[in-house]
Amino acid sequence: MKIQAAVTHAQGQDFSIEEVALSGPQANEVLIRIVATGVCHTDAVGRDLGVSPYPIVLGHEGAGIIEQVGENVTRLAPGDHVVMSFAHCGQCDNCLTGHPTVCSSFNDLNFGGHMDDHTCRLHQDGTDIHTFFGQSSFGTHAIAHERNVVKVDKDVDLALLGPLGCGIQTGAGTVLNRLKPEFGTSIAVYGCGAVGLSAIMAAKIAGCPQIFALDVHDSRLELARELGATHAFNGKQVDVVKEIKAASNGGTHYAVETTGVPPVVRQCLHALRPLGQAAIVGVTPEMSIDVHNDLMAEGKSMIGVIEGDSVPRVFIPQLIAFYKAGKFPFDKLIKFYEFEDINQAFEDSKSGVTVKPVLKFG
Ligand code: CXF
């Protein structure tokens, strides 16, 4: 079939909406009409840094309606509302023990440019157009393996749900699936973008009585307070380590670092109390830390977390249940754009004007 998709032809080029041929679905795949798709920083990385082959259709927070299922698919049917998440093999030890976010084929399946059978579904003038995250949701339709497709309730606005498949589950899952703060413990969240704000909402659900929000934009700190932060500090205006330690009786039990900025990573370690645990979820360049003083001497630990250590088919329906119960108002992060305005949506994400742009298809 012919679809309209935003093609990235070469590294760093703007998105260009063009007609593309989409084939399939194969036996374990489904064809989805995309209703809306989130814009994530990792799409900008895919566009600008050459992490995947070009030409490519990016997009990895797609939500839509199943139009067709492959012959082996029994769990999903045409008409189902679905969210797509990251691709994983479903067979390695990490997938089998409930940690598909560290699937041994994660990089190949999400950044390798192809589906799990190493072929592409998108073509233009006889050339393969590469796949991103096993979905390529920046198009009117997409093919995905049934494994990374999550069926969702029909009584919520489907256009809102795409970001649950990546950015939002990353923040919320880091708190609820990985750190699991005990009731009454404190947490600091560095960076109040979509990931950090989702971590803050999750910390409130977990019952943390002190939730510290750190950012350099007052408007984001205001939103953080609205979503559950009990303290909010602007890192450009105050010494955040000093403020957190003073307000939390010597440091927080937990931290979530979303910025990937080395001095902020250090702050996040320094503002932990002894035995505190920091989850690193921002892509961080090579940097040095004082392992003895910042970790060992006070029994602190630092862990990396991808996609909130989520099993999307379990966790996304849980997040939707929290949303329906009024406990996880992630819609406050979202601003809708028409698909045609994709380049503007990326600019607004980069400048910080919009926390989470979501592209809607007409
Ligand atoms: C990504 C973050 C970088 C590592 C792979 C997963 N998640 C969302 O974009």
Query: Averaged over 212-219, what is the pLDDT?
Result: 97
Q: Is 71 exposed, middle or buried (0-12, 13-18, 19+ CB in 10 A)?
A: exposed
How many other β-carbons are positioned within 10 Å of the β-carbon of residue 202?
Answer: 31
Task: Report the distance separating Cα 62 and Cα 214, nearest Å.
Answer: 29
Q: Is the CB of 42 under 6 A from ligand 1?
A: yes
pLDDT of residue 2: 98
pLDDT of residue 210: 98
Contact 194, 166 (CB under 8 A): no
Assess whether the previous peptide bond of 25 is cis (omega < 30° from 0): yes
Among protein residues, the one with the nearest Cα to ligand 1's atom 4 is 306
pLDDT of residue 177: 98
Q: How far is CA 73 from the centre of its chain?
A: 26
How many other β-carbons are positioned within 10 Å of the β-carbon of residue 327?
Answer: 14
In whole angstroms, how large is the CA radius of gyration of the chain? 20
Is 244 in a helix, a strand, or coil?
helix
pLDDT of residue 5: 98
Q: How far is CA 4 from the centre of its chain?
A: 24
pLDDT of residue 362: 86
Q: Mind listing the pLDDT tens digit for each residue in 70-108?
A: 999 999 999 999 999 999 999 999 999 999 999 999 999
Which residues partner with 56 through β-bridges? 8, 130
pLDDT of residue 213: 98
Q: Which two tokens stand for residue 343?
A: 């380049």
Q: How far is CA 227 from the centre of its chain?
A: 18
DSSP state string for 82-127:
EEE-----S-SHHHHTT-GGG-TTHHHHHHSSS-TTS--SEEETTE
Mutate which of 37, 41, 42, 47 for ligand 1? The one with the most ligand atoms within 8 Å of its CB, which is 42
Q: What is the whole-number distance in angstroms between the Cα of residue 249 and the centre of ligand 1?
A: 34
Q: What is the whole-number distance in angstroms between the Cα of residue 100 and the centre of ligand 1?
A: 13
- The values of phi and psi at residue 253, to 5°, are -75, -35
Q: Is the CB of 146 under 6 A from ligand 1?
A: no
Closest residue by Cα to residue 132 from 100, 166, 173: 166
- Tell which CATH architecture fits domain 2-165+329-360: Alpha-Beta Complex (3.90)
Q: Is the CB of 259 under 6 A from ligand 1?
A: no
Q: What is the whole-number distance in angstroms between the Cα of residue 250 and the centre of ligand 1?
A: 32
* Residues shown for the chain: 362
pLDDT of residue 45: 97
Mutate which of 84, 280, 306, 349 for ligand 1? The one with the most ligand atoms within 8 Å of its CB, which is 306
pLDDT at 24 exceeding the cut of 90: no
Return the residue matching tokens 């949303």.
323
Q: Mind listing the pLDDT tens digit for each residue in 112-153?
A: 999 999 999 999 999 999 999 999 999 999 999 999 999 999
Task: Report the distance separating Cα 223 and Cα 296, nearest Å.
Answer: 35
Q: What is the whole-number distance in angstroms between the Cα of residue 42 and the centre of ligand 1?
A: 6
Q: Angle 47-53-59 (CA atoms, 0-180°, nearest 5)?
A: 45
Would the pTM count as exceeding 0.95?
A: yes
Query: Averaged over 270-293, what is the pLDDT?
Result: 97
Q: Has domain 171-305 been given CATH number 3.30.1240.10?
A: no
Helix, strand, coil percentages (3-state) for the chain, rounded to 5, are 35, 25, 40
Q: Mind listing the pLDDT tens digit for each residue in 312-356?
A: 999 999 999 999 999 999 999 999 999 999 999 999 999 999 999
Question: Taking the domains of the chain in order of start, what are their residue ranges?
Answer: 2-165+329-360, 171-305
Task: Report the distance separating Cα 117 and Cα 26, nearest Å.
Answer: 10
Q: Mind listing the pLDDT tens digit for each residue in 225-271?
A: 999 999 999 999 999 999 999 999 999 999 999 999 999 999 999 99
Q: Is the CB of 246 under 6 A from ligand 1?
A: no
Task: Report the distance separating Cα 164 and Cα 172, nearest Å.
Answer: 9
Q: What is the whole-number distance in angstroms between the Cα of residue 106 and the centre of ligand 1?
A: 10
The per-residue pLDDT of the chain, averaged, comes to 98
Amino acid identity for residue 247 in this structure: A
pLDDT of residue 267: 98
pLDDT of residue 97: 98
Q: Which two tokens stand for residue 157?
A: 């606005």
Q: What is the whole-number distance in angstroms between the Cα of residue 20 and the centre of ligand 1?
A: 26
pLDDT of residue 228: 98
Q: Which two tokens stand for residue 243?
A: 């403020």
How many other β-carbons are positioned within 10 Å of the β-carbon of residue 16?
Answer: 13
How many other β-carbons are positioned within 10 Å of the β-carbon of residue 304?
Answer: 10
Q: Is the CB of 307 under 6 A from ligand 1?
A: yes
